Amino acid sequence: MTDPSLTSLVAELSKLAAEYVPSDGHDAASQAPKLALVNLSKKIMYSLMDPGMMVQAHSLQMAEMVCIRTLLDLKVFEKMSSEEEGKTITAKELSERSGVQDTLLERLLRPLVASGFITQSPDDGSYGSTRFSQAYTSFPGLFFTLMFDHFLQPMTDLPKYLQKHGAVEPTSFYVNPYSDYHNASDSGMTTWEIMSKDPEKLKTFQIGLTTGDAMVPVTGYYDFNQLALTPAELEKTPDRVSLIDIGGGVGNVVKRILDAYKDLNPENVVLQDQENIIDMASKEKIAPHGVQLMKHDFWGPQPVKGAKAYYFRRVFHDYSDELCAKALNQIIPVMAPDSHILIADMLLPEIMTDKEAHTAALDVACMVMGGKERTEEDFRRLFDSVGLEVVAIHRAPGAAAGVVEGKLKTE
């Protein structure tokens, strides 16, 4: 007898497939129809799988990730991609090109054939590249390497970490799965200091992080123009600041904000970061002329009083609630009644769906380093704990991200 739920899912898939129009766009709107088809296909697949098949699927995924990471290190995909489209290469030929033993190559390539990452000819067993393996010779491969080296490897030791430190979420920037994995939990070093000991891995991490920028858009959903100072405000307080970008790097975000929101005067905008970062910002001159560059560690007292907005973008997810509360408590004493704190970050759904699956993965990745992604309710609790209230949450269209806007609690 036919399973009615399966029949319903297949009918829905057929309908979506008939309506689907391929797109090369990478924005949320372009990706949505494609993701809907992928997620529905997964539902059909899972409806057919039994637990034994699930174990086999997970085993293949583990082998696939390890083999991809190893072959990236050996630059094998680059050797395969040099073939003309549709051409294949034997393990022996690939061995001669890459310097990797042919029998080892075959063992590493088999799981990737099984997963569809590469192809294998049924005639002579030779191997062919696909759009996936070709793409992994460039930026997608860098991001995969970042996720594997900095998150997956320490994550595999999470059971051991929890046995050692207790079954509670990691909250320290000094003791967490990442520091434990690198045998540095007693070193007193932060995650970034541990990472800096391997310049090549640090470089991969920094390059790979640019993908995260697209997940939390800078513009298009919070109106920064409303922070512009009126003539009356300037007359009353001539040196008042409209916006402070705290931990804002070398100025890329400030530039994008000022390019998009013309009412804001760069002379009323401040960019704050660590001394070495501000020195870089001074040399690179990315921030528009007039923006004040200020050396500041946000764990210490905020030096700018009464700014209209204190802005953190993609900062809070690196830290625990306790540390985020500490950062907020440096600002609260200098806030004016009309000052606002703006937190731009990922926003986890309260009920997880396949559409936001990537946010769940990113949250576990953050946990490895003692940070966390948060839901709207998480942010409300965090703000409430330090005497702030959330007055609005500005959702980025089509993305699991937003700006959480807060102010001092009123009696």
Q: Which amino acid is at 238?
A: P
Helix or strand (DSSP H, E) at 340: strand 340-348
List of residues 6+ apart from 124 with CB closer than 8 A:
88, 90
Beta strands in 110-228, from DSSP E residues, in sequence order: 119-120, 127-128
Sign for the CA dihedral angle at 238, 240, 242, 244 comes to positive
Residues annotated as part of the active site: 317
What's the CA gap between 343 and 406, in Å, rounded? 8
SS3 content of the chain, % helix, strand, coil (to 5): 55, 10, 35
The burial class, CB within 10 Å (0-12 / 13-18 / 19+), for 135 is middle
What DSSP character marks residue 299? T
Alpha helices in 147-209 (DSSP H): 153-155, 158-165, 177-181, 191-195, 199-208
Beta strand 340-348 pairing with 292-295 = unpaired
Beta bridge partners of 393: 404
What's the CA gap between 216 and 154, in Å, rounded? 25
**Could you tell me the two tokens for 406?**
């807060």
